[in-house]
Structure 1
């Protein structure tokens, strides 16, 4: 087994056990390095318009390029946007350039290469709120061995999925009383009759995470039902204004 395969399988088997985003990110960076990739950016994307910059889930070394990309409105000439809109996954910038050379994008490619990003591997998957999760991993080299592409795609999908989940949970910080901030928010919206899906859309977290927070609040308040938990939290003054 090659070092790339060994590191990939180690990540795939160990990553689900990580309980914080920082540990996951560090492990992912070490794994990417085995492929010759040194930067990445994982985002939640709801649109492909110039004014709709995506929500960043996790990134390393990508900040300068992202600022330039959105400032220069490269989204309007980036052929990768079409591939993403068509839900293509597991593609490289080289694939895009060779399939459909776009003259207007040459400046963008040249500037990326000048910043040490000669090629990128892109994977995407559906997000918990109907958006797309996009992961771009870049390399100073333009080469990516075909035999390594399935492994890198698997590693990327697992990382992005776990990163979204851990980032949601990382927003849960201790608040007043016995409830965390997120638990209080979820109960407060539940008190207004909102469903888990609606609360998730409001707080930008998944319905599954909303249910996680509500169930945690029920246990802390020793209440068997959601309605009783809301009532108890109101009586104790634990619900924030929403």
Structure 2
């Protein structure tokens, strides 16, 4: 990597701002002196397994992904659609009106190619790239979600849910960004706290890799509680699915779960298309709800107070240890809960541990 780009990336450490755009937009970068005219660069937090130099997102390291062109591109740097072959010609069950999925939202275009006999063959690349192009244009969560739902319906997806992953004692209703599950099933799932026993949800907490529901580890999937939940889900039309785990810029875990009433037999290209659409949908959703603007980094004192709370100390005990007033401790904990967007101190501890904001040696009874 050229020295100027290293310096620019280095400025991101700590606050880790996210940037994606042409190299022409980067400040202080002498492109001509370094022998290239333009390109595309993305700065963000890591989270890719198995690649040297890319560390866990929770460690807060910055990752730079750049594409450099030796001359100015004549067209926007958008990857071309992949040709249809092999697994990409998977045909979703049921009739799908692909004509409704067009760049301008009308019936003027098709994100599929005609197959033998005139039936539609889904092109996962065109489907996902079309959504990516429109993603930043939506001005409401509902419009964004409806666009995504229309796209993935062409791949046989019936229902989806975009949500932050709840921490202990946190209800599902407070973390869901958008969903189109059957209303009766959504109410039952939340009211009975199924997430705590849902093997798919619990595996989404532990892995960074997208996975089919059937790829959930056997030690989780074999539990009687999960088998019962799976049976109930099938009754509501959620028989199989695909999950994309994600993290926000602050490290809060999230996931987009796609589900179908039929068995999901996705090949590499379908999985890649769903993965790409999920990442862009989540990024756009975060911009719409303004989460990045609401959540700030904890101060040293707030971290210290939260560590003692995690160790089971009451506000009074913490005030004695730190030689500050009990009222000050309460104010610090209130600020922590506000910054981490949670309602209890127990939830704040869980989120702070996920974000590596605090490290504790032992955890006692948490005060709320």
Shorter chain as denominator, the TM-score bin is 0.5 to 0.7
Match 1:118 to one of 239, 255, 267: 239
Counterpart position of 1:53: 171
Counterpart position of 2:161: 41
Counterpart position of 2:213: 93
Q: Which structure would you say has the larger Rg?
A: 2
Aligned residue for 1:35, secondary structure, equals coil
* Stretches of 4+ aligned residues off by more than 4 angstroms: 97-100, 197-200
The change in CA–CA distance for 1:200 and 1:15 in structure 2 (over 3 A counts) is farther
TM-score by length of 2: 0.43
Counterpart position of 2:287: 165
Aligned residue for 1:17, secondary structure, equals coil
Aligned pair 1:154/2:276, yes or no?
yes
* Paired residues of 1:4 and 1:35 also in contact (CA < 8 A): no
Greater fraction helix: 1
The change in CA–CA distance for 1:75 and 1:24 in structure 2 (over 3 A counts) is closer
The change in CA–CA distance for 1:128 and 1:198 in structure 2 (over 3 A counts) is farther
- Distance in 1, matches of 2:153 and 2:277, equals 12
Between the two proteins, the alignment pairs up a number of residues equal to 178
The change in CA–CA distance for 1:98 and 1:12 in structure 2 (over 3 A counts) is farther
* Paired residues of 1:41 and 1:59 also in contact (CA < 8 A): yes
Tell me which of the two structures has the higher relative contact order, counting C-alpha pairs closer than 8 angstroms and 6 or more residues apart.
1
TM-score by length of 1: 0.63
Aligned residue for 1:120, secondary structure, equals strand
Deviation at 1:67, TM superposition (A): 1.9
Aligned pair 1:109/2:247, yes or no?
no
- Distance in 2, matches of 1:99 and 1:31, equals 34
Aligned residue for 1:117, secondary structure, equals coil
* Paired residues of 2:160 and 2:179 also in contact (CA < 8 A): yes
* Paired residues of 1:37 and 1:138 also in contact (CA < 8 A): yes
Deviations 1:98-141 (A, max 9, x none): 67541412111111111100112111211244311221111111
Q: Which runs of 5+ in 2 are unaligned?
A: 1-82, 84-111, 113-121, 295-331, 343-368
Aligned residue for 2:290, secondary structure, equals helix
Q: Which runs of 5+ in 1 are unaligned?
A: 170-181, 183-193, 205-242
- Distance in 2, matches of 1:58 and 1:31, equals 16
Deviation at 1:23, TM superposition (A): 2.2
* Paired residues of 2:208 and 2:246 also in contact (CA < 8 A): no
